[in-house]
A and B are shown apart, each in its own frame.
Chain A
Amino acid sequence: MLRQPIRPLIVALAVAAAPLALHLPAWAIGWCILCWTYCLAADRRGWPGLPPWVRFAGFAVGMLGVLVSAGLRFDGGDFIVLLAVMAGMKPLEVRSRRDSMVTVFLAYFLVITSLFVFENLSMTIYLFLSVWVTTGVLVRVNHPAGATAAQLRLAARLVGTAIPLMVLLFLLFPRLPGSFWSSPWNRQGVSGFSSTIRMGDVSRLALTDAPAFAVTFDAAPPRPEKLYWRGIVFRDFDGQTWYPERHRHPRRPLIGGTTRSAYTVVMEPTGQRHLFALDLPQTADPVAVIGDDYTLETRRPVRQRLRYRAVSWVDARQDATPFPDPRYRQLPEGRNPRALALGREWAQSIKTPETIVTAALDFFRTSGFVYSLQPGPLGADAVDDFLFMGRKGFCEHFAVAFTVLLRAAGVPTRLVGGYQGGQWNAMGEFLSVRQSDAHVWCEAWLPGKGWTRVDPTAVVAPERIAAGGTRDDPAGLSQGVGVRLIRRWQTLARETWEAVNIRWNMWFMGFSAEDQVALLKRLGVVVGRQTRWLVVGVLPVLFVIVLALVSRIRNRPVKPTGDVPLRTYYRFLVKMRHAGLPKAPHEGPLAYAGKVGRRAPALKPAVDGIIAGYVALRYSRDGRKALLKDFRREVRHFHPRRLLAKSRQKVEPVD
């Protein structure tokens, strides 16, 4: 038996499993490295294979490890651990070519598993590479004689040939609507706004540079100071935490918008239901519902990257309707007495809500507040501590303190969480919004105007709003030309990479069932709700049938063409194949007869006769007609399986 290519097999497994290592516990990684190192050493030194009981013990230990690390709940992540443990042990039992093939397919399966876990472009490119390497190893298993470079070239050709089919299947293979594939697998940490907010949450969030979402505008984007990305509206405050309103009411029409802006958002998973839209959204993609506070919500939490379209009116107001719920003026009793006192004082001295708002803003402007990501510690009466002692804070401190002051003065006020600004990527012409752009502002209800946006942070740190973020390092200007040039290049490279990524996410990762229906419609195929399910049900079945037919045709030992002796010979070979004695393509008839004689002596006389007839017809000087008749009759009456059954002999394994 040929020696199996252990080293290439392990390379394929390692390349395919490497991305999963990010999600594996250390012991599983160590397990794989241990097993593979042993296999490599055994292969190099020619150690005999491990006895079955050792392999079984190893298997038991591995399974125990999986059970211990998984516990009672067995989710997608534990499945990956199980897969890795088995991938580690698989090369230990590779003996035959069949084992090698199974190992190669295990490597392909690891690649598929990675696709469930990762969605980004760089990983997709890596997985293509991994498929290429694995295919190279597949070529090696089947043609052990070739040189590695030639095998990899062939593998590249094979993968390249598959790309058109891949594109076709990507576009046309029925997709299931919703997030069927990805949700149970995804263990990636999600960051972003939660549905409640406490002092300090947003500043912690703003310390991370992770992307939140990216926006491409149909027309020119609004000016940076208009870029308020509305997420959640908070109404109830218990002194520590803010909560949004539970019930949603039908919304009222927008009025007085100046600029209409249509855009597409690609949002990173948050694990929450709220989406972000430019203040104020008018329509949004069907996945989301717009509430009466003009926030967007989906039916299911966003656990995978989501693409949606929305139309917003910048500078719009909501219809000024009856006075809002009294709970928009409620404050917890006995907390922050000094702030409450200040608010009440304003309520008595100043008459209209507009002037109260102005007074509050003046208070923030003139009392020496400092914008900082590292505010000092705050006590139980956090707002009091901030307003009258520390006066150092982040947007959330300003917004919360402002809301408390206004509510104390009797003006209905609410807190809005979202993002402000974003960085314009000139390369890809999109706006990249990061967690560091997280922002909290207020909305006050003014008679005749309704809910009006008030941003106290803009008063204290106007540059924060105008520049849209704090990332650009002004200190860079004082550095040398070289450093600046390098920075420019770095920025350019980052922007390019982000731009490519965003296109990838928009066009490939976000290609949903709805997009597919739209594409089919453009191609002239109208697919309704029922027919889509029909398509989802029927097309894969059809596809499998076609594949099976194709592979059946392809798997015939030889083409059914040629003259009569050849066709008769093929019929004989088919019978032999069904009897478990296939002829290898490179075997000549006499060598094949010899092999059959060794592996199944019961068939020897009949096979020798047929082969002799075939050789005489096909290769000797004069193939006679009478011979042909005999040959055909012999093949017709030849039933290898019956002969084998009668003789009670088994086909000997390959020698």
Chain B
Amino acid sequence: MPIWVVVIGARTLILHFVIISDPTGSDTRPRPVTPEGDLKMTIQPRFQTIIDQIGRVVMGKNDQIRMALTCLLAKGHLLIEDIPGIGKTTLAKVLSRSMGLKFRRVQFTSDMLPGDILGSSIFDQNTAAFVFHPGPIFTQVLLADEINRATPKTQSALLEAMEERQVTSDGKTRRLAAPFFVIATQNPLELSGTFSLPESQLDRFLMRIELGYPDRSAERRLLSGDRQPHQALETLGQCLTPEDVLALQAEVEKVHAADAFLNYLQDVLEFTRSSPHFHMGLSPRAGLALMQAARAWALISGRDYLVPEDLQAVMIHVVGHRLRSREDLSEIPSSRLALLFQEVAVP
């Protein structure tokens, strides 16, 4: 319990980053890795359990939970853009807990240095040698809170590690944990003392989602509930093991993409490049990102092949932060993006 007090304290003490090691992980019994065939058969019900379970804590946000899971299975990283107090941290915590993943949280501030995230070597007088003290990045799920408060230097250190999945310090390369999932949050409002992420850095996030306000009934359940969300969180069981997650991530790679689907994906890419609405079209990397996200979505939907609807489901979240309007280089609201992509016909 005192650890949660620290968490709440950390939210208020914005000027200092706080590292919290996950209290779970060791005390829950890891399940045996299911054989591959079984895993496939039970994917959909199991995901439904996860989504239901997370939904009990983060209420009324099933779509976003599903999208976060997709992002995790696609080996991507997630950027959540929303106002404070909407449940971003809770989502990250519940996600990691229900899969038995190690979780750490870093509150970004403007005086942070790259070493504060990656870790640094400190001279140990006893051994008369430099000893590497790993930073908070050495975990499985990292919540990078308010990433746009840090300076570009720190941001890029994190983002580079995200991409490479390894940290090089003092000439020694250290690999990060195997399921490695960064959830970064960003305040959408233009605030003083923030450094907004440039396009090239945004590109490193597979998806960007918005949580949004809960609907009326969800908020009522939240307000009238006798248990506080963090109490509910502690009662959550573990649905998957980290090994399961790795196996599922491998499974995503095997999802079949037929020619018909690839045609549609290429039509979408071509549309963003030729349409007069966009400043610049999607890059091949964005195309790969779309493919990967659609595959994960198909898997969660219980299919081992892709249909155009998979792409449509993830499209807005994958391309929303990668496209800009031609007129004023501003971001295109997702409602308008959805309408624009209706111009691409499904073959």
Contact = CB atoms under 8 A, between A and B. Distances in A.
A146 interface: yes
B347 to A, nearest CB: 8
B339 A145 contact: yes
Interface stretch (B172-180, B184-192, B299-307): B299-307
B277 A619 contact: no
B305 A588 contact: no
Contacts of B342: 145, 584-586
Nearest to A584: B342
Nearest to B254: A621
A591 B315 CA distance: 15
Given A147-B325, A149-B327, A586 B261 contact: no
A153 B305 contact: no
A620 B298 CA distance: 11
A153 B277 CA distance: 12
Interface in B200-239: none
B285 interface: no
Interface string A244-258: 000000000000000
B312 interface: yes
A150 to B, nearest CB: 4
Nearest to A620: B305
A621 B256 CA distance: 6
A143 B341 CA distance: 11
Contact of B309 (A150, A153, A588): A588
B339 A619 contact: no
Contacts of B84: none
A566 B347 CA distance: 9
A5 interface: no
A588 B346 contact: yes
Nearest to B333: A145
Given A150-B277, A153-B276, A618-B258, A588 B340 contact: no
Contacts of B341: 586
A149 to B, nearest CB: 7
Contacts of B340: 145-146
B260 interface: yes
A589 B260 CA distance: 12
Contacts of A301: none
B343 interface: yes
Interface residues of A, number: 25
B309 A591 contact: yes
Given A150-B326, A591-B312, A621 B343 contact: no
Contacts of A143: 339, 343
A587 interface: yes
A587 B346 contact: yes
Nearest to B339: A145
A147 B326 contact: yes
Nearest to A154: B276
A620 B312 contact: no
A150 B342 CA distance: 17
Given A145-B336, A147-B327, A586-B345, A619 B312 contact: no
A143 B277 CA distance: 12
Interface in B114-159: none
B326 A621 contact: no
Contacts of A620: 256, 258, 304-305
Contacts of B287: none
A221 interface: no
Contacts of A584: 342
Contacts of B327: 147, 149
Contacts of A585: 342, 345-346
A574 to B, nearest CB: 16
Contacts of A566: 347
A149 B343 CA distance: 18
B320 interface: no
A549 interface: no
Contact of B304 (A147, A587, A591, A621): A621
A154 B276 CA distance: 9
Given A145-B336, A145-B340, A585-B345, A619 B309 contact: no
A144 B327 CA distance: 16
Contacts of A147: 276-277, 325-327
B344 interface: yes
A534 interface: no
B336 A589 contact: no
A145 B336 CA distance: 5
B308 interface: yes
A590 interface: yes
A588 B307 contact: yes
Contacts of B261: 619
A619 B326 contact: no
Contacts of A153: 276
Given A145-B277, A145-B339, A589 B307 contact: yes
A153 to B, nearest CB: 7
B339 A588 contact: no
Contacts of A589: 307-309, 346
Contacts of A588: 307-309, 312, 346
Contacts of A621: 256, 258, 304-305
Nearest to B346: A588
Nearest to B306: A619
A591 B341 CA distance: 15
Contact of A146 (B260, B277, B305, B307): B277
Interface string B317-347: 0000000011100000000110111111111
A42 interface: no
A615 interface: yes
Interface in A566-599: 566, 584-591
A391 B342 CA distance: 84
Interface string A126-158: 000000000000000001111101100110000
A613 to B, nearest CB: 13
B133 to A, nearest CB: 48
A619 B343 contact: no
A607 to B, nearest CB: 15
A619 B346 contact: no
Contacts of B307: 588-590, 615, 619
Contacts of B337: 145
Nearest to B341: A586
B338 to A, nearest CB: 8
A584 B307 CA distance: 16
Contacts of A591: 309, 312
- Of B256, B258, B337, B340, chain A has the most CB atoms within 10 Å of the CB of B258
A619 B346 CA distance: 13
Contacts of B336: 145
Which of A143, A149, A584, A588 has its CB near the most chain B CB atoms (within 10 A)? A588
Contacts of B312: 588, 591
A44 B347 CA distance: 39
B256 A586 contact: no
B337 to A, nearest CB: 8
- Residue of B256, B261, B345 with most chain A CB atoms under a 10 A cut-off: B345
B31 to A, nearest CB: 29
A573 to B, nearest CB: 11
A144 B346 contact: no
Contacts of A146: 276-277, 340
11 contacts: A145-B277, A150-B277, A584-B342, A585-B346, A586-B343, A587-B346, A588-B346, A589-B309, A589-B346, A590-B307, A619-B258
Q: Which 8 A-B pairs have the closest CB atoms?
A: A145-B339, A588-B308, A585-B345, A588-B309, A586-B342, A150-B276, A621-B256, A620-B305
Given A150-B326, A586-B345, A588-B308, 17 more contacts: A144-B339, A145-B342, A146-B340, A147-B277, A147-B325, A150-B276, A562-B347, A566-B347, A586-B342, A586-B344, A587-B346, A588-B312, A589-B346, A590-B307, A618-B260, A619-B256, A619-B261
Interface of A: 143-147, 149-150, 153-154, 558, 562, 566, 584-591, 615, 618-621
Interface of B: 256, 258, 260-261, 276-277, 304-309, 312, 325-327, 336-337, 339-347
